[in-house]
Amino acid sequence: MQYSAFLTPVAIASILVTTLMDRRMGLLVTGVMALLIGVMANSLPVCGVSFLTGAVGVLALSRVDSRNQMIRATLLVGLANLLAVAAFELVDVRPLQEMMEASGWGVFNGLISGWIAVGSLPMFESFFGITTHFKLLDLSNMNEPLLRRLTLEAPGTYQHSMMVANLSEQAARAIGADSLLCRVGAYYHDIGKIKRRRFFIEN
């Protein structure tokens, strides 16, 4: 049946390429894949839904600064899929039951695509040696062993690093730079002081 084609998880590739590379490449991959899937399924709605879902995934998940934003972005991908499928089904004047079934598959596809992409991301990060926003979120966790050592062994340097992190994050937001990268970089910028912590006056 036609609605099963709405299960094609284009958003997985869109999110992964965008997160590992950039938005332009993510949108390019999304467009190419949506076109190919539309041709193979011989369906304009499938092509349109695939591109829209992938594009929403690119825009929603390419920049996240917290885990809650990841969850909201994944839900947004599912919602976009629902609305796109429902719109195309209405244009084709489908029966209500078929429209609801197709919309259900669309929501499922959107949510699963987001979760699979986010879940498989650490594997691609490790394999290609790329530091993404998701990796930066992990590095910003204060339970990271290196940050724990800094807290316990050089508390003065730790407080200094927190102040620099706050300042750099606000400055980055003011000029439109990557605030998460600046914050995490500030956390670790004086990490070498652990080696000779007593040489520095703040400790």
pLDDT tens digits along 55-110: 888 887 766 666 666 677 778 888 888 888 778 777 766 677 777 777 777 778 77
Mean pLDDT along residues 98-126: 78
Crossing angle of helices 145-153 and 155-175, rounded to 10°: 120
Instruction: Map tokens 């003011």 to a residue.
Output: 174
Element (H, E) at 139: helix 133-139
Mean pLDDT along residues 122-142: 83
Mean pLDDT along residues 165-186: 91
At 154-168, the pLDDT tens digits run: 888 889 999 999 999
At 23-63, the pLDDT tens digits run: 888 889 888 888 888 888 787 877 888 888 888 888 877 66
- Please state the pTM of the whole predicted model: 0.69
Which of these, 41, 46, 33, lies nearest to 84 by C-alpha position? Answer: 46
Instruction: Decide if pLDDT at 203 tops 80.
Output: no
Cβ burial of 92 (10 Å; 0-12, 13-18, 19+) is middle
Buried b / exposed e along 142-175 (16+ C-beta atoms within 10 A): eeeeebeebbeebeebbebbeebbeebbeebeee
93 in helix, strand or coil?
Answer: coil
Please give the Cα distance from 30 to 51 (Å, whole number): 6
